[in-house]
Amino acid sequence: MSLDPEYIEYPKRKRGMDHDFYPYSNLFSRPKIAWDDGKELLVWPVISLEYFPMVPNDDPFRAPGHMQTAYPDYRHYTAREYGTRIGIYRLLDAFEKRGIAVSVAMNAALAQRYPQLAADIVSGGHEIIAHSVDMNGTIAGGMDETRESELIAKSFDLLESATGKRPQGWLSIARSQSFNTPRLLVEAGARYMCDWVNDELPYQFDTASGPITNIPLNHELSDRQIINVQQHSMDSYAEQIRDASDWLLEEAAEYGGRMLPLHLTPYISGLPFRIGAFEQLIEELAENARIGFATGEALLDQSQAG
Amino acid sequence: MSAQKSDPGLYEYQPYRGRRKLVWPEGKTCAVWVAPNLEFYELDPPANPNRKSWPKPHPDVVGYSHRDHANRISHWRMAEMMSRHGFPGSVSLSVALCDHIPEVVADARDRGWEFFSHGIYNTRYSYGMDEAQERAIIEDSIATVERATGQRIRGWLAPALTHTPRTLDLLAEYGLDYTCDLYHDDQPTQINVAKGSLTAIPYSLEVNDHYGFFIYNMSPREYADTLIRQYDRLADEGANSGTVMCIPLHSYLIGQPHRIGAFERVLEHIAGDGRAWITTAGAIVDSFEEQSV
């Protein structure tokens, strides 16, 4: 028995990355970033607002949080709808009472289905990030390019027509892309995407159709990862976010501005028994004069201004 | 390839009770070594028929970019903290990192760390290799690390823990001194090999940060407590016969901003305890072999 000889050949074994999307870069050797108003740490809340059709199509894969039982899966359909009816408003209130604008990564179908929800997000001064069309709108390697391109365009177009503004950013479902996604996002007019988790500051991604910024939305710090996957309490989540902000503030003093992404899910963090500890966390972060809050667009503008 | 064996005959059974006394330098009771895995994963590797490289179709954006966080950010965070508290690394190295991101390898070398091979890439598996192919990756590892660091590798942790039944024999034949792939003990063990000799040094899956965070789903502070308990117990028992504690790390996990602060408590605890011989894998193997003569 032996493997194909190709298996111990390494055509891309050379200096730098094994792809052309971005060059290697060490965070600690970059020029320091100075955020507006002298803030040292910018917290970037991103709320994922998701619509799960009760009939999953699994093409190319079934999104996390999707239906699990035989049809009709009322329990998951409605538990996810709890997020778009109740949880989102608890989360928005937690931020709005401190005057904080957040990013909302929204399935475009929700803007059509629930115009009041979209209007409330816009009138609250929040940013909308294009987040596919609905939770059947997943992307993965091998997906037909025309279909992917149409899905991306539809998401941006529907959100633009519902809110009057074309989103500047994109978040893929489960951060899952094909090799074409970054280029198709540039072609759809996106300025940034949030899918790659290899950094802690915005950085440039190159595609055949031009550059796009990746603003890393740390999945390890998401409520889905910590509360749903790792099964920790909201108290533990809040402690972990506090530990992260303490650490990043320490680094900021020496190395320049840092960011702390908070990826939130209304049907997870917006539950009655969790929201109190979450509100308290936001209060504490907001009380700290060294910490500010920013949307993705604001982060992008500030990181490019320097 | 030889037939599969239900007992691989790796070592002699040796119960914990009644062992001869291993003594570490200066009367320390627990030899502590930190094993940072400095890895390079490929975005679009060829398929091994025995194991998929990535759970998702390529590109597996989260899988790849999570690990790329190591080289851009978290290696530097973790390494600086280790140096600050006097812990050298014994590096489990995807040797292709020497080609792709020599900055990281040079940083580890300049800190005085030791290197052993963790294969070429952590996306190329040994399963199914014939002997010539397996010799090629061992020879590649020796040559690549020597060129990049001036060190001749002395140890091996199989790439993504993938082996063949001949791997251990080949390591001994090439003059390597230790393997990190066997988890049967809290002390070093002489391994049965066809010719030459090979020592198994305790590495760990149970207190590996990957297990802590993704198998046992620990919070950062729970993982720190786990390491402290592991150390305290091994330092106690090491008074009878010296024990070994390995802290196997992946910087893209331990170096995340919510975890690294809690980890610092572990290093402070061990460094401040007084019973720890804080050292490298090679030094532990040397001391063990001197006491085995």
Q: For A151-162, write each residue's pLDDT tens digit.
A: 999 999 999 999
Q: Give the minimum alpha-carbon distance from B38 to chain A in angstroms, rounded to a whole number.
A: 15
Please name the member of B40, B69, B130 whose beta carbon is closest to the beta carbon of A197.
B69
**What type of residue is A63?**
A
Q: Which residue of B has its CA nearest to A143?
A: B57
Q: Are B88 and B14 in contact (CB under 8 A)?
A: no
**Token code pair at residue A305:** 């201004």
Q: Which chain A residue has its CA at the smallest distance from B119's CA?
A: A8
Tens-place pLDDT, residues B94-122: 999 999 999 999 999 999 999 999 999 99
Q: Which residue of A has its CA nearest to B49?
A: A3
Listed by start position, the domains of chain B span 25-292
Mean pLDDT, chain A, integer: 97
pLDDT in tens, B11-23: 999 999 999 999 9
Given this model, what pLDDT does residue A2 score? 85
Interface check for A273 against chain B (CB to CB < 8 A): the answer is: no
Here the ipTM equals: 0.97
Nearest to B43 among A18, A140, A195 (CB): A18
User: Is B62 in the A-facing interface, judged by CB distances under 8 Å?
Assistant: yes
A300 and A213 Cβ atoms separated by less than 8 Å:
yes
Is pLDDT of A305 > 80? Answer: no
- Measure the CA–CA gap between B123 and B52, rounded to whole angstroms: 9
Integer Cα distance of A117 and A175 in angstroms: 24
CB contact under 8 A, A27 and B76: yes
Whether A170 shows a pLDDT value over 70: the answer reads: yes
Does the domain formed by B25-292 have CATH 3.20.20.370?
A: yes
| Helices and strands in chain A, H and E counts | 11, 9
Q: Which of B96, B217, B261 sits opposite A230 (nearest CB)?
A: B217
Task: Walk me through the domains of chain A, giving residue ranges and CATH numbers.
Answer: 43-231+260-287 (3.20.20.370)
Interface of B with A in 168-227 (CB under 8 A): 213, 217, 219-221
Q: What is the pLDDT of residues A121-138, one digit of tens each?
A: 999 999 999 999 999 999
The whole-number pLDDT of residue B1 equals 47
The model's pLDDT over B230-266, given as tens digits with 9 standing for 90+, comes to 999 999 999 999 999 999 999 999 999 999 999 999 9
| Contact between residue A264 and residue A91 where contact means Cβ atoms under 8 Å apart | yes
Those of residues 91-120 in A touching chain B at CB distance below 8 A are none
Which chain A positions have a beta carbon within 8 Å of B132's beta carbon? Answer: 2
* Token pair for A253: 């003093």
Average pLDDT estimate for B201-223: 98
Chain B contact for A8 (CB, 8 A cutoff): yes
Per-residue pLDDT at B2: 58
Alpha-carbon distances of A213 from A17, A183, A297, A304, rounded to whole Å: 17, 12, 11, 10
